[in-house]
Structure 1
Amino acid sequence: MTSALIGRSLPMEALPTTEVDYLQLGETSAISELWDGNVLTCPRDTPRHQMILNALGNALRAGRTDLNVITGIPVRLGPGRIAVPDLIITGAIDPDVPLVEAGSVRLVCEITSAASATVDWTLKMHAYAQARIPCYLVAEPERGLLHSHMLTAQGYVEQSVMQLVRVTGLNL
């Protein structure tokens, strides 16, 4: 099985590649990430996912002018590891560089789906902690929950669980 990319296709399974090759992919019709030398692809988001993403972004941005709230941008977590989180909050960054360094990221957020929940709760949670990103939010639309985790020396520790509808105003 392949997923269509602009001008070419990539298999759904991982393909060995370098970071330089990954960055040369440019914009694709699938979300592509680099994990330890392998490009992994997944389909684009659903309207429900985008509605939650936009509402979370607006809630996190409220009243703040000193932070950047950015969706769908690659983040370099380390050598050979570039993730595309659903949403990040950064301090000052160069808006013309095609990816953000993990050291600039203050918060990362993933919105789970049936296809991504295991990866979001395990692989990504561990990789974001290893990259020393201070805060990790996980939104679970299926359960209507938003989990907030803070980084400690041992990894992420859950700080709170909120009703997603109370944070976003969306009752999906």
Structure 2
Amino acid sequence: MVQARAAQEVGAGQARLTRADHDDVGVHVHINTFGGPDLPGRLCDPRPPLRSCDTEPESRQGGSTVTALAHHPVGPFTVEDWHALTPRPDGSRLELVWGHFQVTPPPSMHHQYAGDELRAVLKAALREAGRTDLYVVTGIGTEISTERRTALIPDVAVLSTRPVGKAAHAADLELTVEVVSPGNSRQEQAAKMAGYAAAGVPFYWVVRQDRLGASSITAYRLKDDEYVEELTAGPGSPVTITAAPVPVTFDPAVLHP
């Protein structure tokens, strides 16, 4: 059984949580998280002293190609370590990003609602196209890369294999979707985009929510190991996204309760 020690400080709208987990994985795991339900955790080096990992997105002005690069060394923890950790009882998500653990609070209600509605939209599109070989799931553990020591939990994913087992593999992913809110850091978004691109996931969507939950969506297609933006759409009128296993037509307004 993993033993954990936690200390929590709350002040000025921020919470800091430090854990040391050991025995099951044979290492000490230090995790820092900042924020609340809409202020997800930041990437940090789990080895003391704790520091922020330096990951920044690179965008090409005047174009639509987005390259997400991670500029920090790969951390000490592996996908096997990630598998060995026990589920967190509070429902928070523990991901492994370039060898560093990242913990985020449980999704807010409007965050979860957007993911559930998008799953329904994608499922209907797949059925209409007769793609019974593809499956839409939410919040599953996914082994992105053992070499890059990355394992993520996309908010929505389209799989090319039956959703059976503990975790999916990068080769099973046709589309991944991340729902982000104003509290999500650029570092977190860049690192996840880099991970999905490096793993060869063909399509990647980002649903961006404002503080009231209203959503816009940006769809990317993988080309030459980079994600190329196809479109960004807000609520109010139907759009058709072709950066997907099948064309998907819907109004992003349905993602807001």
Kept in 1, the 8 Å contact 2:142–2:169? The answer is: yes
How has the CA–CA distance of structure 1 residues 85 and 171 changed in structure 2, closer, same or farther, with 3 Å as cutoff?
A: closer
Answering whether residue 39 of structure 2 is matched by residue 19 of structure 1, we say no
Query: What is residue 136 of structure 1 aligned with on the other side?
Result: 204
Q: What are the equivalent positions in structure 2 for 1:1-172 lying under 5 Å apart?
A: 1-2=16-17, 11-12=31-32, 13-15=44-46, 16-28=76-88, 29=90, 30-63=92-125, 64=127, 65-79=132-146, 80-93=149-162, 95-96=164-165, 98-119=166-187, 121-142=189-210, 144-164=215-235, 166-167=251-252, 169-172=254-257
Q: Deviations over 1:120-149 (max 9, x none)?
A: 541111211111000000001226311110
Q: Secondary structure at the match of 2:144?
A: strand
Q: Which runs of 4+ in 1 moved over 6 A?
A: none
Q: Secondary structure at the match of 1:95?
A: coil
Partner amino acid, structure 1, of 2:143: R
Q: Which of these two proteins has the greater Rg computed from alpha carbons? A: 2
| TM-score w.r.t. length of structure 1 | 0.85
How has the CA–CA distance of structure 1 residues 117 and 37 changed in structure 2, closer, same or farther, with 3 Å as cutoff?
A: closer
| TM-score w.r.t. length of structure 2 | 0.59
State how many pairs are aligned.
Answer: 168
Identity %: 24
Range moving further from structure 2, 158-167 or 135-144: 158-167
Cα distance between partner residues in 2 of 1:170 and 1:157:
23
Partner amino acid, structure 2, of 1:41: V
Gaps of 5+ in 1: none
- Coordinate RMSD, CA, aligned: 2.4
